[in-house]
Amino acid sequence: MTEQIKPVFINILLVAEEMSLPGNTVFAFDGCKLPSNAGKEQSGTFDDLRKKQQKLKDKITTIINNHKALDSHSQSELPPSKQKAVEKIERNIRKIDNFPAANKPGIGKRNKESQSNITDNESCKMKTGHGVIQGYNGQAVVDDKHQLIVAAEAFGRGQDSSLLKPMLEETAENYKSIGKDDNYIENKCVIADTGYFSEENLTTAQEKKIDAVIPDQNFRKRDIRFETKRRHVPHSEDSFVHDDFSYDKEKDIVICPAGQVLPPAHGAVQKLKNYSYKTYHTSKAVCSACALRSKCLKSEKSRWRNYQVLVASDKPDVVTQMINKIDSPHGREVYLKRMGIVEPVFADIRTQKRLDHFTLRTQAKVNIQWLLYCIVHNLVKITNFGPALQKA
């Protein structure tokens, strides 16, 4: 169904468009990470796999030696249960042995070898709220009017940041397929969470003339609605935070809650991405003798408390513009819509449609399965809202 599934998805989208179900003005992006038909214990670099192979060989040797030690007849055959276990281990050894011949090591973002998977090498390990899984990232672009999915695709990549551009292109292609203009998604509002925030993505949205609303990772720290968050954290009132220290710019020092002076550290200015910070701290002896040490330092092994001050920022214009947009009342109001648009769609697919894991292997087959479930979701929307709108 590799060639057939996309036209079916487009036809369903066309039916929904003829019924005026999509609003076609506001869209929400997100990804649903689901386990695949592959175990994460079968993952590793090529060196890891070779070590795993040797461990399996050692396991067979251990089984045979234990049998000889317990059996007075050293030449007797293994019992059926042990023989079956050995045969299973030998099959796994052959799988590892054949894997390097048919596959090449993957290279990650930092030019280091990424982990391969013997069972499904197109899947990947990814972090989720339920731990690390071996699976695929089902992406969806959802219209805000009736939560209709207008674009969907499954990727063997856990990071959402690299998937904004392909999903925007997929959305534009789908609208073109139902008779819209090539630049139909221009000036549309696209909302995504912090996982999509990057200079590259913001530049892509700007080039495509899309009204993107993508917050940075620290946007909640700047939100005035979270000013009282400390009182909701257990024991937080007993610990000192950044605001409990006072910074004197003229004297170039920091005063801690105990009244001690924190001078600039050796090699104080450090650059982290687009920011430059200056670090201040006092000596180990001062912090060790301080009566407020337990409130200031989390660990007994810590030497002193560091205090950092932002001294320079060379953020790109697109990043600054997005931060300013998110910090505005209108930007925060728009971003609040994201969760109500896209999250119920994934809840429907996972809970009501019961897609809690992918049962197929390879990205092409998993993508078909993901699109099938998205099609069923859209059919339910047409059933629930289409006839009622037609009668009205």
Three-state secondary-structure class, residue 353: coil
- How do residues 85-131 score in pLDDT, each as one tens digit? 888 888 888 888 888 777 788 777 777 878 888 888 889 988 888 88
Strand bridging mode 113-114 / 106-107: antiparallel
**Residue 41: which pLDDT band, with cuts at 50, 70 and 90?**
confident
Fold type of domain 5-38+121-220+318-391: Nucleotidyltransferase; domain 5 (3.30.420)
User: For the sheet containing 253-255, what is the strand order?
Assistant: 246-248, 253-255, 261-262
Between helix 46-70 and helix 80-102 the angle, nearest 10°, is 160
- How do residues 142-166 score in pLDDT, each as one tens digit? 999 999 999 999 999 888 989 999 9
Find, among 327, 323, 339, 324, the residue nearest to 224 by Cα. 327
With vertex at residue 109, the alpha carbon angle to CA 367 and CA 371, rounded to the nearest 5 degrees, is: 10
Q: Is the pLDDT of residue 232 over 60?
A: no
Count of Cβ atoms closer than 10 Å to residue 64 Cβ: 13
Q: What 8-state DSSP symbol labels residue 304?
A: -
Share of the chain above pLDDT 90, in %: 48
**Residue 33: which pLDDT band, with cuts at 50, 70 and 90?**
very high
List Cα–Cα distances, 106 to 44, 53, 233, 324, 352, in angstroms. Answer: 11, 19, 42, 38, 36
